[in-house]
Amino acid sequence: MAAALANDSPKYRNSLICCSPRSVENASITESSSTSGCVSGDENYDTTFIPKSISNKKLKIHSSATKEEIEKAINQCKELVLSSPQCSEERKWLVRYLVELRLRLQDLNENDGLSRVRVSIKGHHFEQQVNPSNRKQYCDHCSGVIWSIVQSSYICNDCGYICHYKCVDHICRMCAHVVMTEKGQFEMSICPEKGLSNQDYKCTECHAALTFKDSWNEPRLCDYTGLYFCATCHWNDLSAIPARVIHNWDWEKRYVSRLAFQMLNLSWSRPYIDVERINSRLFNFIAELEWVHKMRRDLQWMRRYLCNCTEGNSLFSPLFVQLGDVNKKYSMAHLQAINDGSLETQLTELTEVCRAHITGCPRCSGKGYLCEICSNNEVLYPFDSGALLCEKCNSMYHRSCWLRKGQKCLKCVRLEDRRKTIETDSPDAKEFDIDKFVD
């Protein structure tokens, strides 16, 4: 029975482990030792979870701490925040922990000693699961099965972290939502691996000892962070890696840790990737990406027309708002839709609808341009493929007329001639010595 449960756990997913009663015992020993580095109320907590400069302050309190103990810890934390350097790691950690203490105090006042419905710890905002889903759930802390009928469990509203009721006070993983909010970008280096020796042969998350001799505690590499994790913190989840997509357009899914898997899922739809800055040559190899990038520039011009039109405001769909922004950044969801071909179709339909409104609306069409070279009555717009905009004076020309005139803007030529004429006709300014007029 124990071997069957071990094989069913995601902790041993895709791992070459032979289940046996003896190895199950070793696994339980390893599992209990892997939580020894968690932040808890014991005196032997691992100081690597907090900055070394404040590790001797003994700020950590037990989960069963009283209201007076929490208030004392809050006052001590406030004093350390004021005395710590600005924008330092110590201040960031202290501010996060101060928020956690205040939320814990609020929960204690609201629950009045009853079972905790909400718990705030390590940046997570847990709520007790009242009606868990029918699918089988596993604890992100101990990787064990959560029996919803007899066991209570918590789920984080921000990152989806799930754990047993008994494990909530011992978790050691920072909330993925907090981590990605502080970073504000993806890791753009392809698997920045530094080796197990750089980690002191310990798991990055729970600091459990890693060794190749024990198959139950095998080190597993996260292809996103380049760090090694134990089997409890790395379930062999598969995901596409943003760095490999941007540099090589490689959409093959690779193994990532639980923290990286949650971070990627949370930030999959957030525009974090600036393709022009990171790898501008990618537009030369991916025709679909170049076409979408061109349509994004057209949407930026269309946005200026539609913003001043009452009827045009109704065309601002969520897709228009996302891709019509001037930051020119993409999300992983956008790049995946480009790879599938679905985003190109949606953008083509959206640009056609917006173009039809601008050319047919009296207010929007009145803001068009006329070609100064050919002087015909065709109205030009900055998003027309056959039109060209002068970057200096914002004049519009037909592309063929621009080439026929030697790629010279007539308006810029007139302005330059006028400037030279004014400089020639105006007399030289007389210089006065201000000291002569001072008594």
| Cross-strand partners of 160 | none
Task: Write phi, then psi, for 255 (nearest 5 degrees).
Answer: -75, 130
Q: Do residues 27 and 216 make contact, with C-beta atoms less than 8 angstroms apart?
A: yes
Number of H helices, E strands in the chain: 16, 14
Domain boundaries, the chain: 35-183, 286-367, 369-416
Q: What is the largest CA-CA distance in the chain?
A: 106
User: CATH code for 35-183?
Assistant: 3.30.60.20
- The confidence score (pLDDT) of residue 8 equals 58
- The confidence score (pLDDT) of residue 110 equals 64
- The confidence score (pLDDT) of residue 53 equals 61
CA distances from 43 to 38, 46, 332, 368 (A): 11, 9, 43, 73
Domain 369-416 listed as CATH 3.30.40 = yes
- The confidence score (pLDDT) of residue 59 equals 67
Sign of CA dihedral 399, 401, 404, 405: negative
| Cross-strand partners of 238 | 255
CA distance 322 to 328: 10
Q: Do residues 160 and 152 make contact, with C-beta atoms less than 8 angstroms apart?
A: no
Q: Do residues 289 and 282 make contact, with C-beta atoms less than 8 angstroms apart?
A: yes
DSSP string for residues in 366-381: TT-EE-TTT--S-EE-
- The confidence score (pLDDT) of residue 150 equals 62
Q: pTM for the complete prediction?
A: 0.67
Around 183, how many Cα atoms within 13 Å sit in the side-chain half-sphere?
18
Q: Do residues 88 and 45 make contact, with C-beta atoms less than 8 angstroms apart?
A: no
- The confidence score (pLDDT) of residue 228 equals 94
Of the chain, the end-to-end C-alpha distance in Å amounts to: 106
The CA R_g of the chain, rounded to the nearest whole Å, is 31
- The confidence score (pLDDT) of residue 62 equals 62
The pair of three-digit structure tokens given for residue 298, joined into one six-digit string: 């057209």
> pLDDT tens per residue, the chain (439 residues)?
444 544 556 765 665 433 333 333 333 333 333 333 333 333 333 333 566 666 655 666 665 677 788 888 888 888 888 888 888 888 887 887 887 778 777 766 766 655 577 888 888 999 888 776 667 889 999 888 887 766 778 999 999 999 988 888 889 899 999 999 888 899 999 999 988 999 999 999 998 899 887 767 789 999 999 999 999 999 999 999 999 999 999 999 999 999 999 999 999 999 999 999 999 999 999 999 999 988 888 888 888 888 878 787 777 877 777 777 767 889 999 999 999 988 888 888 888 888 888 888 888 888 788 887 787 777 888 888 777 777 778 777 887 887 877 777 878 888 888 888 887 776 554 444 544 444 4
Nearest CA among 351, 361, 345, 362 for reference residue 324: 351
Residue type present at position 200: D
CA distance 298 to 311: 19
CB atoms within 10 A of CB 321: 11
CB atoms within 10 A of CB 243: 20
